[in-house]
Copies of this chain bind each other. A is one copy, B any other.
């Protein structure tokens, strides 16, 4: 385990992911309650929340009920607590969240049907990717890729793209911490990863094999907002055996451009010229294909 670099003072947080240290700050206590919930723990009893947040039972009790009456938490039939729809309503307002999804969805759906692969729309958050949309081919790939999933950047297609086009010091920070291994093929060597990123930066897209799930190949490209800034990345995951990477790159390139266009339409913004472009794919006249 790496020592904590951010010096968050000592604390006893049992967070599901790993970080955060809201400590004895007032608002922090409220957030600690929310932090108690995670993918592995969607429904918690009061005392579980208390233990996980490190707050006394009575404090937890009051806070939980405050959140309850506001709608941030709900109580199921067993008396356990879970995240409430009010939070979904709020989250839907995130410009980089379901808003982005809204613009991208039809294109991603189309991509999904044409490639029969898993399609992801991811944005960078800190040093990780968060999926804002994920369309899965029926049964394959058990739980991989859901909305709200958070993954390290080095092992995902979208992450590689987002990292490659991020600030240099952010890249360095990402490279300087331990790179988790998911399969024998996962890139965990900083030098190799650095080479990979350069390649992504140069070609304008990422292709990777078996980084998280073994028999799979992922292709990812960046998505730009109407101002020409990197907004997100989209990827398609298919079985490596039946993959035609160049075709996928081309389709993704078209899709990315289309999403940017729809983002512009949505916000009433005018497109900025000279948008970065995917190389090795003659921009523009992709197969339109409506369902």
Contacts and interface: CB of A to CB of B under 8 A. Distances in A.
A170 to B, nearest CB: 16
Interface stretch (A71-79, A245-253, A268-276): A71-79
Contacts of A132: 85, 88
B91 A83 contact: yes
Interface centre among A37, A83, A92, A126, by most chain B C-beta atoms within 10 angstroms, is: A92
A91 B93 contact: no
A89 interface: yes
A144 to B, nearest CB: 12
A123 interface: yes
Interface in A50-73: 63, 66-67, 70-72
A88 B88 CA distance: 7
A130 B89 contact: yes
Given A20-B70, A42-B99, A85-B123, A147 B92 contact: yes
A237 B187 CA distance: 47
Interface string A175-189: 000000000000000
Given A30-B27, A63-B27, A146-B102, A76 B88 contact: no
A1 interface: no
Contacts of A93: 37-39, 42, 82-83, 148
A135 B74 CA distance: 26
A77 B84 CA distance: 30
Interface in A75-114: 76-77, 82-99, 101-102, 105-106, 109, 113
Contacts of A38: 93
17 contacts: A22-B70, A27-B66, A27-B67, A31-B70, A37-B90, A43-B95, A83-B91, A84-B96, A85-B125, A87-B94, A88-B132, A89-B130, A90-B91, A91-B92, A92-B149, A98-B148, A109-B109
